[in-house]
């Protein structure tokens, strides 16, 4: 069975938060249920175990989702379990945030990644020529998608974002998105409910060639030199959460579709 058969739209659904439909329209594609979608062994690969190894960073440097796990990853990312997992991350982060009292100087910040953390690229990764990371990354096609400025919010992480702001923390976006998309990213964030932030840090031309760990470590170090204290750090990649000045606590959003070193 080719991927084009099961990647057709059955219905338009919305990413939900706490079992409620999202107030912001976030259309994504739903797949038909397939054998193996629950994580059963397919062609020698246990896809649930593979995803566990990815999320725990036991499997590193991988390039593609195993072709036999494409349907499993697709069902996970577009299904209830992914939303519940994101909510579990957000709930844990909120409980931690409640234990920290922001200082009066306004220098306590939470750092948020963008792709697959605050904004979702599911409408892109569900396409038949992308197949949830089972086909090699195409920089041109992905940048064309980013330029559309239509990425929906990840509701649970947006709720976390708004909650830490209500508790008195400043928020900072730190992303590997190229600076040329600054205007598009700002509009996309505003349209999906991210209404304010202390800083939006995107990747400049002088940062190309650096690994994500190096780039994000340097930018976090700059924040610290400016007097900011990183209370929390949220990202979908381990490279968002390791290196220097990672913050007092880090929180990983699930993402079995790709690996960024």
Please state, in angstroms and rounded to a whole number, the distance separating the CA atoms of residues 22 and 152.
Answer: 10
The number of residues making up the chain comes to: 261
**pLDDT tens digits along 138-180:** 999 999 999 999 999 999 999 999 999 999 999 999 999 999 9
Q: Terminal CA-to-CA distance of the chain, rounded, Å?
A: 33
Between 34-43, 87-96, 197-206, 223-232, the lowest mean confidence (pLDDT) is in 34-43
DSSP 192-221: TT----SEEEEE-GGGTTS-HHHHHHHHHH
Q: Which helix (H) or strand (E) holds 17?
A: strand 16-17
- Give the pLDDT of residue 43: 57
Instruction: Check residues 102 and 130 and name the one with the higher pLDDT.
Output: 102
The band of 89, judged by pLDDT with boundaries at 50, 70 and 90, is very high
What the chain holds in terms of domains, given with CATH numbers, is: 3-252 (3.40.50.1000)
Q: How far is CA 54 from CA 26, 195, 206, 213, in A?
A: 26, 32, 30, 17
The 10s digit of each residue's pLDDT in 52-84 is: 999 999 999 999 999 999 999 999 999 999 999
Rounded to an integer, the average pLDDT of 120-143 is 91
What is this structure's pTM? 0.86
Residue 9 has pLDDT above 60, yes or no: no
- Give the DSSP per-residue string, 88-154: HHHHHHHHHHTT-PPPTTS-EEEEE--BTTTB--HHHHTSTTTGGGTS---HHHHHHHHHHT-PPB-
* pLDDT on residue 75: 95
For position 167, what pLDDT does the model report? 98
- pLDDT given at position 37: 46
């Amino acid at each position: 069975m080719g991927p084009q058969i099961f990647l057709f739209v059955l219905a338009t659904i919305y990413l939900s938060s706490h079992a409620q439909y999202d107030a912001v329209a976030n259309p994504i594609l739903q797949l038909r249920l397939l054998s193996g979608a629950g994580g059963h062994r397919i062609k020698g690969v246990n896809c649930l175990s593979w995803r566990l190894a990815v999320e725990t960073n036991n499997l590193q440097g991988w390039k593609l989702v195993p072709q036999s796990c494409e349907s499993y990853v697709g069902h996970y990312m577009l299904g209830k379990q992914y939303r519940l997992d994101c909510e579990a991350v957000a709930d844990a982060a909120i409980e931690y945030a409640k234990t920290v009292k922001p200082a009066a100087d306004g220098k306590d910040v939470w750092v948020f990644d963008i792709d697959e953390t605050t904004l979702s690229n599911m409408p892109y990764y569900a396409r038949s020529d992308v197949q949830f990371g089972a086909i090699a990354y195409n920089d041109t096609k992905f940048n064309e998608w980013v330029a559309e400025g239509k990425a929906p919010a990840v509701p649970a992480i947006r709720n976390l974002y708004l909650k830490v702001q209500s508790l008195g923390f400043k928020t900072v976006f730190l992303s590997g998105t190229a600076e040329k998309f600054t205007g598009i990213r700002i509009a996309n964030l505003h349209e999906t409910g991210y209404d304010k932030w202390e800083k939006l840090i995107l990747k400049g031309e002088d940062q190309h060639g650096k690994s994500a760990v190096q780039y994000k470590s340097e930018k976090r170090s700059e924040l610290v030199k400016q007097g900011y204290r990183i209370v929390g750090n949220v990202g979908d990649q381990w490279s968002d959460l390791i290196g220097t000045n990672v913050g007092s606590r880090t929180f990983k959003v699930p993402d079995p579709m790709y690996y960024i070193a």
